[in-house]
Amino acid sequence: MTTALRRLRNYIDGEFRDAADGRTTEVVNPATGEAYATAPLSGAADVDAAMAAAEAAFPAWRDLIPAERQKVLLKIADRFEERAEELIAAESENCGKPVALVRSEEIPPMVDQIRFFAGAARMLEGRSAGEYMAGFTSIIRREPVGVCAQVAPWNYPMMMAVWKFAPALAAGNTVVIKPSDTTPASTVLIADIIGSVLDELGHSRGVFNVICGDRETGRLMVEHKIPAMASITGSVRAGMQVAESASKDLKRVHLELGGKAPVVVFEDTDIPKAVEDISVAGYFNAGQDCTAATRVLVHESIHDEFVAALAKAASETKTGAVDDEDVLYGPLNNANQLKQVKGFIERLPAHAKIEAGGEQVGDKGYFFAPTVVSGLKQDDEIVQHEVFGPVITVQSFSDEKQAVEWANGVEYALASSVWTKDHARAMRMSRSLDFGCVWINTHIPLVAEMPHGGFKKSGYGKDLSAYGFDDYTRIKHVMTSLDG
């Protein structure tokens, strides 16, 4: 007997709707490899409707005093807490993530981030007003940019949606957001939450809209004439395509793309503590994190000891079912991602050595073992390109100069970490590492108050923090004559 699939729908102007032409795509639970829902495969008519709704809602939302927008965001944060178990269930089914980890590691920071941007709504800052020409006063207005087309990724569908809609709404913009075609469920639930809050507080529900679909849907959103800004978290290839599409009408673009974070471990490091922290930061969320600690550079004097400890930690790290509280991570997100991770392992050069893992786990779902690969060279494919899986690579360096050269010697520049007890060395490294974030003796903690974003092919623009808030605003100079 076939179980009926749940039907997910777009959220446009306060209404849940199917795609205008009725097309759908199946949504698969990566823990089982089986479809559990259908979602709209939205086309041009759906994108037009969502953009029109956001455009119509924009003037009233823009003109609200900041305190009113803050009130909405604070209510949304409260509602996230009240409906946390629904969000957890949706995200776990979306991604195969362990329920306990979604509850402890995603819901609290998401709520905190929404509340942070609720406060930021009342802190629009500009340089002080003044007279810079005799007889004239200049002031700076910081304004919302307009309708924002936002595309979220599949690795953290809920949290990345928050990173996008919270600063945009706080600054006075309206939103059309598209979740990944493999993970739409939690974003559709978020639409229900936000829509109910907007309705309760008397605001247009067209302020926030959700469109489900594939890459073509995303392209239609980015190329649409209405949005003033396009924001995407995704692959380098997707970011380049968005930048190219947005350039046709000079849309503002906000890109958070791939990463290949170097983890530079010096000889004075506390090895057991470093191995413990790096393992968690490398394998959490199955390594499907642009900041994951997956590229370790370790000083040659401790290389063998460190690799042995890292392999032991990998062998003790568990992946498995969503209801198992002992697992650190669940499956890879989809069949294509599993194929990609397997491909990196299958193509390893002869000089590489698999110290732990290296294989799929089980015969159901997309689980992959925690893996350590040593003996690698700087120009190896697995060193240069993002695996986005539970795979930690290890290289051996001889001195600080080589460590910096190799750490910076990739096309990505999102995050990095340095492990040493030498304060001066840590400061030198933090200056020399060409990455948007440098952690010292830790890896992966994030806070709402600090910016997240990279350089080079990791994109541009910042998420979180006042800098992320500013990205969703524009600056206007107003000059007035003092003689009437």
Summarised one tens digit per residue, pLDDT across range 100-112 is 999 999 999 999 9
What is the residue type of 263?
V
Residue 4: the pLDDT is 85
For residue 132, give both structure tokens.
């810079």
Taking CA atoms, 361 is separated from 17, 90, 318, in Å, by 38, 24, 10
pLDDT tens digit sequence for 40-84: 999 999 999 999 999 999 999 999 999 999 999 999 999 999 999
pLDDT at 3: 66
Spatial separation of the C-alpha atoms in residues 57 and 67, rounded to whole Å? 18
- Residue 388: both structure tokens together: 């986005």
Q: Which of 110, 448, 425 is nearest to 438 (CA)?
A: 425
Nearest to 61 by CA among 157, 195, 164, 204: 204
Q: What 3-state class would DSSP assign to 242?
A: helix
Q: Of 356, 360, 357, whose CA–CA distance to 340 is shortest?
A: 360
Q: How far apart are CA 55 and CA 53, in angstroms?
A: 5
Rounded Cα distance between 109 and 104, Å, is 9
CA–CA separation, 56 vs 147, rounded Å? 10
Q: What is the DSSP letter of 358?
A: -
Give residue for tokens 């060193």: 383
What's the pLDDT tens digit per position in 405-429?
Answer: 999 999 999 999 999 999 999 999 9
Angstrom distance (rounded) from CA 372 to CA 218: 36
**Percent of the chain residues past pLDDT 90, beyond the cut:** 97
83, amino acid identity = R
> What is the Cα–Cα distance from 202 to 205, expressed in whole angstroms?
9
Q: How far apart are the first and last CA of the chain?
A: 81
* Residue 1 pLDDT: 43
CA pair distance 452, 336, nearest whole angstrom: 27
**CATH 3.40.605.10: does it fit domain 6-257+458-477?**
yes
State the chain's mean pLDDT as an integer: 96
Domain range list for the chain: 6-257+458-477, 262-447
Model confidence pLDDT, tens digit, residues 241-262:
999 999 999 999 999 999 999 9
Q: What is the pLDDT of residues 17-50, one digit of tens each?
A: 999 999 999 999 999 999 999 999 999 999 999 9
Q: Per-residue confidence at 303, pLDDT binned at 50, 70, 90? A: very high
Summarize pLDDT for 317-327 with one digit per residue, the tens.
999 999 999 99
The answer on pLDDT for 469 being more than 50 is yes
Q: Helix 157-170 crosses helix 107-120 at what angle (to 10 degrees)?
A: 10
DSSP string, 120-171: HTT----PPPEEEETTEEEEEEEEE-SEEEEE--SSSHHHHHHHHHHHHHHT
Task: Tell whether the model's pLDDT for residue 2 goes beyond 70.
Answer: no
- Write down the pTM of the prediction: 0.96
pLDDT in tens, 351-394: 999 999 999 999 999 999 999 999 999 999 999 999 999 999 99
- How is residue 46 annotated by DSSP? H
With residue 254 as reference, give the H or E element that holds it.
strand 252-256
Bridging pattern class, strands 130-133 and 136-144: antiparallel
Instruction: Provide the pLDDT for residue 432.
Output: 98
| Dihedral over Cα of 198, 203, 206, 208: its sign | negative
Burial 351-368 (b: 16+ CB within 10 A, else e): ebebbbbbebbeeebbbb
**Residue 124's pLDDT is what?**
80
Q: What is residue 128's predicted lDDT score, i.e. its pLDDT?
A: 78
Q: Please report how many Cα atoms fall inside a 13 Å half-sphere around the Cα of residue 104, on the Cβ side.
A: 6
- The residues carrying an active-site annotation are 256, 290
Which of these CATH numbers, 3.40.630.40, 3.30.2290.10, 1.10.1380.10, 3.40.309.10, describes 262-447? Answer: 3.40.309.10
Q: Is 406 helix (H, G, I), strand (E, B) or coil?
A: helix
**Mean pLDDT to the nearest integer, 428-446:** 98
* Strands 130-133, 34-40: pairing kind: unpaired
